Amino acid sequence: MPEPSPSRPPIGSLAIIAIVVAVGAGAFAYTAGWLSPTRLTPTKIVESLAPPGGPSLGYRRN
Q: How far is CA 17 from CA 2, 14, 24, in A?
A: 31, 5, 11
- Give the pTM: 0.51
Structure-model confidence comparison of residues 6 and 31, the more confident one: 31
Structure-model confidence comparison of residues 37 and 28, the more confident one: 28
Query: Distance (Å, rounded) from C-alpha 54 to C-alpha 27?
Result: 37
Interval 13-24 mean pLDDT: 97
* Share above pLDDT 90 across residues of the chain, in percent, rounded to a whole number: 27
